Amino acid sequence: MAVEEETPELALETHTALMRLKLAVAAAIYHGESAAVTWEWWCWTEHLLEHHRRVRTACQTAVGITRVGESVEQGVKDALRKQAREATEHTTAMQRALKWARKQPMPFTASEQGRAGGRRSYREENAKRLCADLVAAGLLAQVTEDVAHCGPVLKYTVTELGRTQDVQGA
């Protein structure tokens, strides 16, 4: 004979059937009848258990919704942390680019500034954006320089403000 493995569903059904028997007997005694399970009380417990199932389902749904809400909240926190990390990395890279630029005697290109940060570095990958942000902050100025065989090339130089002031937030 095969032994049936007890699953949570089977355990719940077994528990429910036992509770239904107990409720039928308790209801009969409460109403002055003998301690026996009659068809009337057995049917009455079905209505009671139907209500129990609805409440249980509502509770499980509420728990699921709460977990989804917690997951969404955690995702938002993770996104904010990532955004703060990226902003800090960008500000730090801007400060390092400005520090490097202050040492340059001649105007330089964005790619030259990026290469100075190291191969595959944040500065190299975001060289144009860093220079543009430094220009927007008034710390670098754009200069167009004519280069033989290339024509006009966009280069950057440190402004007077850039020589004395650091990047905000660095």
User: Which range of residues forms the domain containing residue 108?
Assistant: 85-164
* Model pTM score: 0.56
How high is the pLDDT of residue 11? Answer: 83
The pLDDT score that the predictor gives to residue 4 is 66
Alpha helices in the chain (DSSP H): 8-30, 39-102, 110-116, 122-125, 127-136, 160-164
Tokens of 91: 């500000």
User: What tokens were used for 43?
Assistant: 């049917």
Cα gap 80→164, rounded to integer Å: 32
Number of residues that make up the chain: 170
At 144, the pLDDT band (50, 70, 90 cuts) reads very high
Q: How many domains does the chain have?
A: 2
Co-location of 113 and 153 in the same domain: yes
Same domain (yes/no): 93, 69 = no
Six token digits for residue 69: 């809400």
Q: What is the CATH number of the domain that holds 104?
A: 1.10.10.10
Tens of pLDDT, residue by residue over 1-19, are 556 677 888 888 888 889 9
pLDDT at 147: 82
Cα separations (Å) of 147 from 41, 106, 125, 136, 154?
99, 14, 24, 25, 10
Q: Tell whether 47 is covered by a domain.
A: yes
45 domain-assigned: yes
Q: In 3D, which of 100, 132, 104 has the Cα closest to residue 116? A: 100
pLDDT digits (tens, 9 = 90+) for 51-110: 988 998 888 888 888 888 888 888 889 999 999 999 999 999 999 999 999 999 999 999
Give residue 2's pLDDT.
Answer: 57
Asked if residues 133 and 94 have their Cβ atoms less than 8 Å apart, the reply is yes
3-state secondary structure of 158: strand
Whole-number pLDDT of residue 85: 92
Q: Within a domain: residue 1?
A: no
| 144 and 155 Cβ atoms separated by less than 8 Å | yes
What's the alpha-carbon Rg for the chain, to the nearest Å? 37
Chain-wide mean pLDDT for the chain? 89
pLDDT for 3 equals 62
